[in-house]
Structure 1
Amino acid sequence: MKSIILKGIVIILFGFLSSCATDDTQIVARFTELVMADEFDTEGAPNSAIWGYDIGTGDNGWGNNELQYYTDRSENVTVQNGVLIITAKEEAFNGASYTSARLLTKGKFEQTYGRFEARMRLPYGKGLWPAFWLLGDDSNGTEVWPQIGEIDIMEYVGDEPTIMFGTVHGPGYSGGESIGKPYQLENDRFDTGFHVFGVEWGPNYINYYVDDVLYNQITPDDVPGEWVFNRGPFYIILNLAVGGALPGSPNEETVFPQTLLVDYVRVYKNSNN
Structure 2
Amino acid sequence: MSARAEARHTRLVHRLAGIMLVLVVVSAGIVSHWSADKPAKDEPVKQESAARAGPCPAAKLPDYAGGGKKAPTWSDEFAGSAVDKRRWSIRDQTSLSFDQARIRSRNVSVRDGRLVIQARRESSGGRDFSTGYLDTIGRFSQRYGRWEIRARLPVTAGASRGLWPAFWLRADDAPGEIDIMEAWGTPANHPHAKPSTYAWNLHQDTRGGGGNVHGWGTAAGKASLADGFHVFAVDWSPRCIVFSLDGKRTGAVSMKSAPWLKQSLQGKVNIRLNFQVGSRYWGWADPKHPERTRLPADFVVDYVRVYGS
Question: What SS class does the counterpart of residue 227 from structure 1 fall into?
Answer: helix
Q: Is residue 2:105 matched to residue 1:72?
A: yes
Query: Which one of 67, 91, 104 corresponds to residue 54 of structure 1?
Result: 91
Query: Which one of 221, 241, 262 corresponds to residue 206 of structure 1?
Result: 241
Post-superposition offset of 1:183 = 0.8
- Cα distance in 2 between the residues matched to 1:241 and 1:70: 9
Query: Contact between 2:199 and 2:216, CA under 8 Å: does it hold in 1?
Result: yes
Query: Contact between 2:48 and 2:214, CA under 8 Å: does it hold in 1?
Result: yes
Q: Is residue 2:185 matched to residue 1:158?
A: yes
Name the structure 2 match of 1:6. none
Name the structure 2 match of 1:18. 48
Deviations 1:139-177, CA, capped at 9 Å, x for gaps: xxxxxxxx5210000001011211101110004996796
Query: Contact between 1:128 and 1:247, CA under 8 Å: does it hold in 2?
Result: no
The 1:227/1:24 distance shift into structure 2, 3 A limit, reads closer
The 1:22/1:90 distance shift into structure 2, 3 A limit, reads same
Q: How does 1:218-229 map to 2 (within 5 A)?
A: 218-223=253-258, 225=260, 227-228=262-263
Query: Contact between 2:176 and 2:261, CA under 8 Å: does it hold in 1?
Result: no
Post-superposition offset of 1:55 = 3.1
Post-superposition offset of 1:25 = 4.4
Structure with more strand by fraction: 1
Name the structure 2 match of 1:231. 266
Query: Contact between 2:103 and 2:130, CA under 8 Å: does it hold in 1?
Result: yes
Q: How does 1:1-273 map to 2 (within 5 A)?
A: 13-14=38-39, 15=45, 17-19=47-49, 20-21=52-53, 25=57, 27-32=60-65, 33=70, 34-44=72-82, 46-58=83-95, 61-62=96-97, 65-73=98-106, 76-124=107-155, 125-138=160-173, 147-159=174-186, 160-171=194-205, 178-185=212-219, 186-223=221-258, 225=260, 227-228=262-263, 231-251=266-286, 252=289, 253-270=292-309
- Which segments of 5 or more consecutive residues in structure 1 lack a partner in the other structure? 1-10, 139-146
Query: Contact between 2:164 and 2:277, CA under 8 Å: does it hold in 1?
Result: yes
TM-score, normalised with respect to structure 2: 0.73
Post-superposition offset of 1:95 = 1.2
Post-superposition offset of 1:209 = 0.8
Name the structure 1 match of 2:7. none
The 1:51/1:16 distance shift into structure 2, 3 A limit, reads farther
Query: Contact between 1:204 and 1:230, CA under 8 Å: does it hold in 2?
Result: no
Question: What SS class does the counterpart of residue 256 from structure 2 fall into?
Answer: helix
- Structure 1 window deviating more from structure 2 (11-20 vs 234-243): it is 11-20
The 1:224/1:126 distance shift into structure 2, 3 A limit, reads farther
Structure number with greater Rg is: 2
Q: How many residue pairs end up in the alignment?
A: 245
Deviations 1:222-263, CA, capped at 9 Å, x for gaps: 337453355211000000000123422114221110110000
The 1:249/1:183 distance shift into structure 2, 3 A limit, reads same
- Cα distance in 2 between the residues matched to 1:172 and 1:85: 27
Post-superposition offset of 1:21 = 2.7
- Cα distance in 1 between the residues matched to 2:110 and 2:37: 30
- Cα distance in 2 between the residues matched to 1:259 and 1:12: 28
- Cα distance in 2 between the residues matched to 1:163 and 1:176: 26
Query: Contact between 1:118 and 1:198, CA under 8 Å: does it hold in 2?
Result: yes
The aligned amino acid for 2:239 is: N
Structure with more helix by fraction: 2
Query: Contact between 1:207 and 1:216, CA under 8 Å: does it hold in 2?
Result: yes
Post-superposition offset of 1:190 = 0.4
Q: CA RMSD, aligned part only?
A: 2.5
Tell me: higher relative CO, structure 1 or 2? Use CA pairs within 8 A at least 6 residues apart.
1
The aligned amino acid for 1:43 is: S
Post-superposition offset of 1:184 = 1.6
- Which segments of 5 or more consecutive residues in structure 2 lack a partner in the other structure? 1-35, 40-44, 187-193
- Cα distance in 2 between the residues matched to 1:109 and 1:17: 32
